[in-house]
Structure 1
Amino acid sequence: MKKTYVLDTNVLLQDPHAIFAFQDNEVVIPAVVLEEVDSKKRYMDEIGRNARHFSKLIDQLRGLGKLHEGVPLENGGKLRIELNHKSYEKVKDSFAEMTNDNRIIAVALNLSLEETEKPNGNQVILVSKDALVRVKADALRLKAEDFLNDRVIQYDRGYTGYAELYVDSNVIKHYYDQGEVATRDVSNHPFYPHQFIIMKDALGGSSSAIGKVSPNGEKIKPFVSELQEVWGIRPRNVQQRMALEMLLHEDIKLVTMIGKAGTGKTLLSLAAGLLQTEDFGYYNKLVVARPVVPLGKDIGFLPGEKEEKLRPWMQPIYDNLEYLFNTKKPGEIDQILAGMGSIQVEALTYIRGRSIPDQFIIIDEAQNLTKHEVKTILTRVGEGSKIVLMGDPAQIDHPYLDESNNGLTYVVESFKSQAISAHVKLVKGERSGLAQLAADLL
């Protein structure tokens, strides 16, 4: 049975190519959706970019025929701009106010009623990322769905970067004696490069070991770094130890970390960056950035220069730097950073068009980045640089992103099989007992 999908505006603003995601079915775009997309074209953020991209895309399809009659799509489906089913009569008894959302629902409802009168009519489905639009549609007995095609993976099934395996005690003994063990002797399941493995005695003995899968995925070897303390910071749990190993490994150019607030992502990254930039001289500069949500939006008519405008957004970074430098007086951290000159804190607003070689780059709050934005950032990384992406996918401020389709999750799943990258999910909060309890309960 063929289906007719009516798309809400937020679907197209999230993914301009959404019209191609419905196989050989019919895709209907209400006229009011075009009006809403048009109103977003002037935005200088990701939403505006997607609105402009969709506008160009729909204009190209116009060359295939009359859009109000329907034009064929490359996947065998059909796209149509709906002009004739905008009557509000069937909706106004339940939702009196004629908002744009209600007008879109009215188009879908009128189409559905028309299709039910046909012998082999299509099933009409309203597709929206707005939960209340789907609730309203359901109240009118109209089938509604979320747009799931942009999801990378179900968040709770995502890659954690490590595995806990129960093995024969002889395997653990061989690992300590030889300094390595073949992955095939541990498990028949495939391993990812730089995946961390916690081996425990299958018979309940006290022996255990921790290692890391080699870049070719064939062996498990001990950690490369032997440092137990970095700029006064010691890892407090096994996941933090894994994170420090990734951050200090020269051959790993892309590090991703996810975890709740207080798990130590920012502090560990800054400590490792300072060590390799200031002490070892591996990198010329430490660059710390975070998105001003939404990315690309004007940071406001605040007084002062760019640094003064950015200070409220970047205060969490400065808090961690104050802790690492053990500053006591107000403004002391600014004097230290000004004197060093090799630490740069900035917003991602200014990253487009740059090339960043020989630098240790930290991107905080990366869960608020879209797939396009995170691609823009990673393609700025120059030769000899290392980049760290971190955040908490459970805390997203972007209106069109969730735990499964944000840029950070996208990078984790896309790079997990690449030898140039490594990932770990931090699970235990170390900020304070209260912070950990709040993260769990709230």
Structure 2
Amino acid sequence: MDQRKQFIVDTNVLLEDPECIRKLRNGIENDVFVPYHVLLELNKLKKDARLAHIAAKVVKNLLEDRDKYVVLDTDKVAEPFQDLVDGYILDEVQRSGLAEPILVTNDKILQLLAAKRGIKSEFYRESVPFKSDAEYFTGFVASREERVPNCFFWEEGKPVFWGRDEEGRFEEKAVSYQHKVWNVTPRNVYQNLAIELLTNPCIDVVSIQSEAGYGKSFLALAAALHLVLERKDQRKIYVVKPMIEIGQKLGYLPGGVEEKMEPYTRYVGDLMSKLHATRPANRLFLDAEQYPPKFDPKKFELLPLNYIRGMTIENAVVIIDEMQNMSRSECRALLSRMGEGVKCFCLGDIRQVDHPYLNQENNGLNWLVKKFKGAENYAHLVLKGEKSRGPITDLVIKSGL
């Protein structure tokens, strides 16, 4: 019996994994088809600053693998900037004459529309994790039997940390003390445990998931100042941010990289000014009195994600903000830039995904937790608490607005 499958690939799958055609084909086991309107979408995305580099990679692979897929025919073309192409893609599938086509897409609405027409569809299995690990794995386990490296569990109402000591041996340690870094005192037990992880010399990568207002950026910056200026474990701080909000506007803004990013990273300057007022951090500034403050690039840099490509980062604290707006491939490309002596803080909220081709399950932060969980130099924590940055934010979180 012929077990060959006939896969039809949607745009979002190609963007998430430019190698998906080869994987779906699995040697010569299956047949892969690309709708004509998917090619039109890729052509449009070449002009989108957020996705142009990914679209270019997809097109390059399509050119190299022309013998590994077939482009579907169409009898009508969508009007540019007017028609949604989903219906046209489904038309192509129906008129293709394929016996049992399977539309591979991560778009749930397109799956519903396909089902209405009797077209079978499925998620791209290499793309969507089984569940949202970044939220469901909180950093705590229920008992000793479920321990993983650098986790916590409750014992007699106190958090107990399971991780390596200075000699590299795993031990249990009750966190009954309160941390204080750069004159910042944690507001609740979870913030205290976050600092425990951020300042632990045995942990290279820490991810923190929380809704807005629980202080993950403030704590990460305070810990970075402590490591660079006080403990001198690293020499420099980088803050990296995927520039989803800017889109094509980034290139047209005046000035250099820092000036272009300033409207979207002003909160970093505000937090650094607040920390500087708490305890002077003069070595990080060229002018701390200017607003927004001007940083010394030898000690502190704000960088958009694309500027990391080709770099090798060493002896630095790297804070990756809004990691939920990075794709799996972008996450991999960024973390592979990290050399010796790097401490990496990955921050985000999987409930606030702004990237048009990502979702709560399929994003860089969730992939990080899914793949790194259990590694001896990695830790994850979900920040919680009764109070956030203020009473209005408290009300937003409590009401579920």
TM range (shorter): 0.7 to 0.9
In 1, distance between residues paired with 2:382 and 2:290?
Answer: 30
> Structure 1: which 4+ aligned runs deviate by more than 6 Å?
none
Query: In the alignment, is the contact (CA less than 8 A) between 1:7 and 1:27 conserved in 2?
Result: yes
1:396: Cα distance to partner? Answer: 0.9
1:331: Cα distance to partner? Answer: 7.4
Query: In the alignment, is the contact (CA less than 8 A) between 1:295 and 1:348 conserved in 2?
Result: no
- State whether structure 2 residue 140 is matched by structure 1 residue 162: yes
**2:113 match:** 136
Percent identical residues: 30
Determine which of 171, 179, 195 is the counterpart of 2:151.
195
Determine which of 73, 89, 105 is the counterpart of 2:90.
105
1:259: Cα distance to partner? Answer: 0.8
In the alignment, structure 1 segments of 5+ residues that lack a partner are 72-78, 89-96, 116-121, 166-185, 200-206
**TM-score, normalization by structure 2:** 0.82
In 1, distance between residues paired with 2:32 and 2:352?
Answer: 33
Q: Secondary structure at the match of 1:293?
A: coil
1:276: Cα distance to partner? Answer: 1.9
Pairwise CA RMSD of aligned residues?
Answer: 3.3
Aligned residues: 379
Superposed CA deviations along residues 222-281 of structure 1, whole A, max 9, x for unmatched, are 45x965222232222222121100111112111111111011100111111112222232
2:18 counterpart letter in structure 1: P
In 1, distance between residues paired with 2:338 and 2:161?
Answer: 26
**TM-score, normalization by structure 1:** 0.75
In 2, distance between residues paired with 1:39 and 1:17?
Answer: 20
1:296: Cα distance to partner? Answer: 8.6
Q: Which moved more, 1:102-111 or 1:48-57?
A: 48-57
1:345 counterpart letter in structure 2: L
Query: In the alignment, is the contact (CA less than 8 A) between 1:291 and 1:366 conserved in 2?
Result: yes
Q: For the structure 1 residues 249 and 337, does the alpha-carbon distance in structure 2 shift closer, same or farther, using more than 3 Å as the test?
A: farther
Q: For the structure 1 residues 297 and 358, does the alpha-carbon distance in structure 2 shift closer, same or farther, using more than 3 Å as the test?
A: farther
Q: For the structure 1 residues 139 and 335, does the alpha-carbon distance in structure 2 shift closer, same or farther, using more than 3 Å as the test?
A: closer
1:48: Cα distance to partner? Answer: 3.2
- State whether structure 2 residue 193 is matched by structure 1 residue 248: no
1:151: Cα distance to partner? Answer: 1.6
Determine which of 20, 24, 36 is the counterpart of 1:21.
24
**2:281 match:** none
In 2, distance between residues paired with 1:52 and 1:335?
Answer: 35
Query: In the alignment, is the contact (CA less than 8 A) between 2:141 and 2:153 conserved in 1?
Result: yes
Q: For the structure 1 residues 300 and 436, does the alpha-carbon distance in structure 2 shift closer, same or farther, using more than 3 Å as the test?
A: farther
Superposed CA deviations along residues 14-69 of structure 1, whole A, max 9, x for unmatched, are 22222323764443222332343344456665x3344333334344444xxxx5xx
Q: Which moved more, 1:11-20 or 1:237-246?
A: 11-20
Q: For the structure 1 residues 375 and 125, does the alpha-carbon distance in structure 2 shift closer, same or farther, using more than 3 Å as the test?
A: closer
Query: In the alignment, is the contact (CA less than 8 A) between 1:286 and 1:361 conserved in 2?
Result: yes
Determine which of 56, 81, 94 is the counterpart of 1:52.
56
In 1, distance between residues paired with 2:255 and 2:65?
Answer: 47
- State whether structure 2 residue 189 is matched by structure 1 residue 211: no
Tell me which structure has the larger Cα radius of gyration: 1
